[in-house]
A and B are shown apart, each in its own frame.
Chain A
């Protein structure tokens, strides 16, 4: 529901109205509140409301919502305070701010927070958890043109985001331990979790999540920085929601995780330090909101400490204090907001004597801060008493436990001191001077209304606890503690006991502290003495810079390179390891080589092939043409192998591809640099080492491949899908050539993708070559052309270009004659493809070779004048044909690319297979022709373009000289 409201407000982004979005927000919040309250009767019965939706059932995840007493209490708190904050914000936000955005974020945040509270699945919980981090980031950075807001928001996002990630790890571990992500199951299996070896890990990660969120030491420093947010946001985030999420989580998982010694030590240490430090820091703040922020930290520390104790009674106190703190802290933040709003400053050194101007607000703030200080008859007093009582008890005997009463009293004294300071400096004393806004006055009636409500709640709870909060608290506590729910009493007067004495001591000591330090506080700089220099924020920023900038640069310097060779070396090396490790780990043993059954002819062919391969490797640097020829030789050997080993289709394709590739590279050779004769061939030691290393790597890879290949080939072939294809190719695909049937029918979708890739490559090549400009030293005419032209010019009876024309005259005539023959051959290969070796690929390549021959025979210019083929259209037509054939199956009610086949009698030709797959193959054929021809034409065309380029260059130089 809040999310819907958030979208609604977002839809109003453009409007400048303040009341409409706030109305929506208010209604939504009120609606949530009403829905929660309506659920109370059922909850009070001890029922747990659930709503499940399938989410990712295959991972055992479902979108489960679950509301028990504790969740109910929090829902009411969130939506109730949310509503009050909305009312307050309606008056707080000024006309200039984009109000709809504010309410949109606020509602979204509220939704995420409610999500945390009522999610019944721990994964879902962590999702909502992250959402609160994100929305709080947006809320804190609401005034995004202020640097403080941006920094504060970024810091809170970094810290809570990291925490959220830890939490996710933690709950995953937890889910792993329990075997389910369902919250009920996890809560029910506390003993299993505590005795599991992974318990400590899970605990640490979950605590990291909770402590970062609740701003516990050592992650406390983001909270004061988040005070740059608008005050309603602070009031909402830092009283009832954001920071409460952490302690909520701790209380939620209390049945599952608490009670162990680790829990106590980890949580207790963090809690006690936070309690004390927060209170101590709060005393020395000059900023009103800063004071409240540190006091929030301190109170959260108190709750954490209570939870760490592991006793049921302490947990009751913790839950009670969560509620109390939410009420008085929200009202105090709002009061601070009013003061800021009316006077224009939050600096306590400048504020004084405001009671005269804001008597009503002052009274409310006084009551609220008295609750914060723990003055009797107010709600803060009750939970503080319970805390003191628990502190005195011994739980786990250790230093931590023994110092707890003293620490508690001291922190109590501090909190009295800062509460007193808040009230005394701001509202009493002399007339304020030089305020930014000269005449402060009481805020509008409805801006005060939320504070009034909250303060009244403080009073009611404080005076008649068992009548007001009693039943609700009981419901919440029972749902967390279950059968362990202890006897507790919420009355104000427990008799003259130790906790009461501690309270008294704290009250007196706090007052004394304040009046002793008053002079100093009124003038000192911001921040507490001694610790002023030690700023968590600084450390955080230092770390951030260190990690994100220095380390990154270091890593880039050490590991990064712009050179391709080291990168490739790493790729090869990693590839080798990736192949090697699993084999070694799974106990791979190379099989003994058996030389029996070797056909000597085959051996001789491969002896030649191997020699050619090694030759290629040697020659590729200085003798490119020789290397290319030898590479072609290797290709032919591979081709023969395919013939030999029952793969005629492969052999045909390999042969044709070999031809096309060779011609392509030949065309490219022209643009490569000439051999540089001037380079001295003296090899440096480093180069020698480099080569040796590369060679070693290459040989290792090769040897590895040999062993693996041999092992794979000699293993018995498991009865895999091959049998299926062999048996069904004819009955279902209507073809006898199983390879072709697989390509165009069984795995037609792959082929479709593949021809699309081919088309894309052709287009890329074309695009790259359109703007191609050869290197300067390739611009001049090739040497052969120069010789030929010189020869022509020397003889008067010849004109330039004659030699080229006469070159290979007879073969070129034959090549031209061969053109129709080749076309026929291509059609033949295409038609027989379904039953005999052939098919679209090879037919397409054959046809492109036919065109290629024309280029070879007549020269580029001649061929381009006569060519009647538009490669782009062929490609488009091919892709379309293939697609349409596939889609055609839909109209007949079959899945994409289902084929149909039958034989038809044609006059003269006889029986013809006519499968729809033939059309698909036709598409393949068209596309292959188009792509191959496009690539060849684009490359060959460069030799014509260069003449133009050369001419324009000459003109340019001439123009420059003139």
Chain B
């Protein structure tokens, strides 16, 4: 399990960083989303990888065997904030495109 998750995180990081360094704003926004997936999964993974033990308290559940709720709470807020930043960045992207007429990250067209 862990190995697959780590490879997935690695691949998503690679794609995210690659896209982040591209000149088009759209690529950057997609790259950021991708990076946030990777980071969220990473933080989530810090709590250990367990199946079938969601942190829901029942009457006959041993608390120590449950999955770690702290990273989950952190990631939950991270997801929502990620949504907010994506929205913000999208609008900045659109505004910059409207002002400069290009979708290059520098707002100045391509460099040769």
Chain A residues in the interface with B (C-beta under 8 A): 562-565, 568-569, 572, 593-595, 597-599, 602-603, 606, 609-610, 613-614, 616-617, 620-621, 624, 627-628, 631, 634-635, 637-638, 641-642, 644-650, 653-654, 657, 660-661, 664-665, 668, 671-673, 684, 694-695, 697-699, 701-707, 709-710, 712-714, 717, 720-723, 725-727, 729-730, 736-739, 742-743, 747, 750-751, 754, 757-758, 761-762, 764-765, 768-769, 772-778, 835-837, 841, 928, 931-932, 935, 938-939
Contact = CB atoms under 8 A, between A and B. Distances in A.
Given A722-B47, A775-B101, A650 B53 contact: no
Interface size class of B (residues with CB under 8 A): 35 or more
Interface in B1-22: 1-22
A764 B92 CA distance: 10
Contacts of A837: 54, 56
A600 B36 CA distance: 26
A776 B97 CA distance: 10
A46 to B, nearest CB: 62
Contacts of A727: 63
Given A599-B1, A701-B17, A657 B30 contact: no
A617 B85 contact: no
Given A703-B10, A709-B6, A751-B77, A761 B67 contact: no
B80 A754 contact: yes
B14 A701 contact: yes
Given A713-B6, A725-B70, A758-B81, 13 more contacts: A606-B8, A616-B19, A620-B27, A698-B21, A702-B14, A709-B42, A726-B55, A726-B63, A726-B66, A736-B56, A768-B95, A778-B97, A837-B54
A565 B105 contact: yes
A351 B45 CA distance: 87
Contacts of B16: 698
Given A646-B53, A653-B76, A598 B1 contact: yes
B1 A627 contact: no
13 contacts: A563-B111, A641-B5, A644-B51, A649-B72, A649-B76, A694-B21, A695-B18, A709-B6, A725-B69, A739-B69, A743-B73, A762-B87, A837-B54
Interface string B73-89: 10111011111111110
A620 B72 contact: no
Contacts of B42: 705, 709, 712
A124 to B, nearest CB: 43
B8 to A, nearest CB: 5
Contact of A743 (B5, B46, B51, B77): B77
B68 A722 contact: yes
B21 A572 contact: yes
Contacts of B10: 702-706, 709
Contact of B103 (A642, A673, A721, A751): A673
A650 B30 contact: no
A721 B30 CA distance: 35
Contacts of B81: 754, 757-758
Nearest to B27: A620
A773 B98 contact: yes
A634 B72 CA distance: 19
A939 B91 contact: yes
Contact of B18 (A565, A617, A712, A775): A617
A378 B11 CA distance: 87
A607 B72 CA distance: 24
Contacts of A647: 44, 54, 67, 72, 75
Interface of B: 1-24, 26-27, 29-31, 33-34, 37-38, 40-42, 44-58, 63-64, 66-70, 72-73, 75-77, 79-88, 90-95, 97-103, 105-106, 111-112
Contacts of A841: 76, 80
Q: Which of B16, B38, B69, B95 has the most CB of A within 10 A?
A: B69
Given A617-B18, A635-B37, A647-B67, A668 B94 contact: yes
A328 to B, nearest CB: 67
A750 B94 CA distance: 31
Given A736-B56, A737-B55, A739-B72, A565 B23 contact: yes
A928 B14 CA distance: 32
A598 to B, nearest CB: 6
Contacts of B20: 568, 572
Contacts of A694: 17-18, 21-22
Q: Which of A634, A729, A737, A747 has the most CB of B within 10 A?
A: A634
Contacts of B9: 705-706, 709
Contacts of B52: 646
Nearest to B62: A726
Contacts of B84: 757-758, 761-762, 931
Given A698-B14, A709-B42, A761-B88, A645 B50 contact: yes
A597 B88 contact: no
B45 to A, nearest CB: 5
Given A620-B22, A673-B102, A722-B47, A769 B91 contact: yes
Contact of B30 (A631, A704, A761): A631
B3 A634 contact: no
Contacts of B13: 698, 701-702, 705-706
Nearest to A607: B4
A185 B61 CA distance: 61
Contact of B44 (A597, A642, A695, A938): A642
A635 B86 CA distance: 14
A710 B103 contact: no
A615 to B, nearest CB: 9
Contacts of B73: 739, 742-743, 747
A706 B12 contact: no
A911 B57 CA distance: 17
Contact of B7 (A624, A634, A635, A706): A706
Contacts of A568: 20-21
B17 A768 contact: no
Contacts of A638: 37, 40-41
Given A702-B10, A702-B11, A726-B63, A595 B70 contact: no
A730 B27 CA distance: 45
Contact of B56 (A565, A738, A774, A928): A738
A610 B7 contact: yes
A727 B23 CA distance: 50
A606 B14 CA distance: 15
Q: Would you list the 10 A-B pairs with minimal beta carbon distance, nearest first?
A: A702-B14, A706-B10, A710-B6, A698-B18, A698-B17, A617-B15, A738-B69, A646-B67, A738-B55, A742-B73
Contacts of A672: 26, 97, 103
Contacts of A565: 21, 23, 105-106
Q: Which of B7, B21, B37 has the most CB of A within 10 A?
A: B21
Nearest to A777: B101
Q: Which of A665, A750, A837 has the most CB of B within 10 A?
A: A665
A436 to B, nearest CB: 61
Nearest to A610: B11
A167 to B, nearest CB: 45
A564 B106 contact: yes
A597 B1 contact: yes
A772 B48 contact: no
Contact of B69 (A603, A742, A762, A836): A742
Contact of B82 (A569, A593, A657, A705): A657
A649 B80 CA distance: 12
B4 A563 contact: no
A713 B2 contact: yes
Q: Which of A569, A714, A762, A777 has the most CB of B within 10 A?
A: A714
A774 B30 contact: no
Given A595-B3, A723-B64, A646 B91 contact: no
Q: Which of B34, B87, B88, B93 has the most CB of A within 10 A?
A: B87
Contact of A598 (B3, B37, B72): B3
B55 A712 contact: no
Contacts of A645: 1, 44, 49-51, 67
A385 to B, nearest CB: 75
